[in-house]
Amino acid sequence: MATLPPPPPGQTPVTFAPPQRRSRLRLGTLLLAVGIVAWLGGLGGAVLGNQVADWWNSPPGRASDQPIDVAAPRPGFENRLDVARVAEYVAPSTVTVSADIGGGVSLGTGVIISDDGEILTNAHVVDGADEVRVRLMGEFEPRQVTVLAEDAGNDLALLRMSGEGFEAATFADPDSIRLGDDVMAIGFALGLDGEPSVTLGIVSALDRSVGQGDVYLDGLIQTDAAISSGNSGGPLVNAAGEVVGINTAVARDTAVFTATNVGFAISAGEALPIIESLRAQSAGEIREEAFLGVGLEDRRDGGQGVIVTNVEPGTPADEIGVALGDLIVSIDGSVTDGSSALIAAIRDKQPGDTVTVAIVRETESLEFDVILTARPG
């Protein structure tokens, strides 16, 4: 084996590591490189894992495809409502809703309607919210939710939280709801701490209508069960714990009228088709309200019907010859008890629907079939 010659005089000899030593250095360098790569991979995996976890835990942005649970028709109830039993049954399906709106917090109630996290509440509880949270019975921390869709005109909104296995409420068969039925309102009245409040009453009236601002509601259940701020969006239930309505409004004292225990809930018959409409909206379908094209004024003489005060040119009402002073007494055979009821009835229709409008003009009774158009704007 050849050997290196000795270095010239005055130079420091160069020492080479033995072959085995050089192999160990290569192995150490390799292990160090592998360690760094593994550490970087672990760090990246942790970051990616957190991102995946955040995505996984974030509330879904689409509606559930599960059908709403609606009870079979009932002939009636033999026993009075057992408050404690019904409250225990319904409470797991009832949530508190808090929404950050314009620097303040709006508080309300919601009801779980699917076991994969869909929640129904009032639109006025979450309208304009930057962030919405719900808290379930027995939980200490709120859950983030997505506002899937809102129908301000019918005062309902659809929310969704992540997860599954939730206890969804059952809706009563709309035709089984009767005057005088025992009902219980459940919700987070006044935002009080702890479990929801319950109040007991009866179905005081059916098919009520109310209107204020741009909200016109019909098919309402009137109840004397106390409804307070914070109850909005919560369920009104019968003796079987079935949802007969969504608590939405209460009559208030005015300079002319005094209200005592007069609350209103959006009936199951009105809410169920709106839920399907909200689901369609969340999937990108644009909901258009129907339009007749008249200005209205309520009668002040105690009679029924609504007085026409204006007919807009080129609208369906104008095309069929509705005139100023006409008295609209029914739509599709349903008596109009006021302008709120008529506006709500028209808005519940779809553009292109045909309705029969019954009119009294002086002493003459007239009927017109009119094709509704879409509401401008």
- 232 has catalytic annotation: yes
- Considering the candidates 93, 98, 106, 124, report the single residue annotated as catalytic: 124
Q: Are 342 and 331 in contact (CB under 8 A)?
A: yes
- Considering the candidates 93, 106, 176, 232, report the single residue annotated as catalytic: 232
Q: Which conformational region is residue 337 in: left (phi greater than 0), alpha (psi within -120 to 50 degrees), or beta?
A: alpha
Q: How would you label 104-122 residue by residue, b for 16+ Cβ within 10 Å and e otherwise?
A: eebbbbbbbbbbbbbbbbb
CA distance 304 to 295: 17
- 116 has catalytic annotation: no
- Considering the candidates 116, 151, 155, 182, report the single residue annotated as catalytic: 155
CA distance 93 to 168: 6
Residue 131, beta-bridge partner list: 100
Only one residue has tokens 């899937």, namely 148
**Residue (of 170, 171, 245) closest to 201 by Cα position:** 245
Sign of the Cα torsion 182, 275, 135, 133 reads: negative
- List, by residue number, the catalytic residues: 124, 155, 232
